Structure 1
């Protein structure tokens, strides 16, 4: 009889171990979800901080051209104080920029004349 009781106790302990493992896995899944949310929040914050720094560090000298890539318009930008260094930028990066607004106004005026 004692052997049977021992086997029953061991079976119950085994069930408890499995339950604890399941709970641990659930906790890990929740932790991973929280980590993903935290990482996304940090990334968004870094992007917004980066945009502020971006606007402060670089001044548009001239818009050289425009093109469409993957269905989105981009502008070829020359940067003040950076010589021949140019980049292609989406309109969102040039929002509220005087040089960009003047470029768009000239383009619009040219279309009206034609």
Structure 2
């Protein structure tokens, strides 16, 4: 199954995000395997300058929603109270021009 995670930062979270970014990236190096899922695509959401980060986006392949919820709950950005909202939705991939199977 595929899931989209869309997490928006709190308005005052830029410095907090930056101070926890290395831990977040290190977490993403090991956490997906530990939770039995695959990160297909991920990256920060940005404002118009394409540099100022305002959130996070993930496209994940996972056996069930709980695996995604568990991984996101332990993310350093979540633990540091960076994200104001986190939406996790199952997605049925109808088109995929990035390669791989849908």
Range class of TM-score, shorter chain = under 0.3
Question: Which structure is higher in strand share?
Answer: 2
Q: Which has the higher contact order (CA 8 A, sep 6+)?
A: 2
- Computing the radius of gyration over CA atoms, which structure comes out larger, 1 or 2? 1
TM-score for both structures, normalised by structure 2: 0.25
TM-score for both structures, normalised by structure 1: 0.23
Question: Which structure is higher in helix share?
Answer: 1
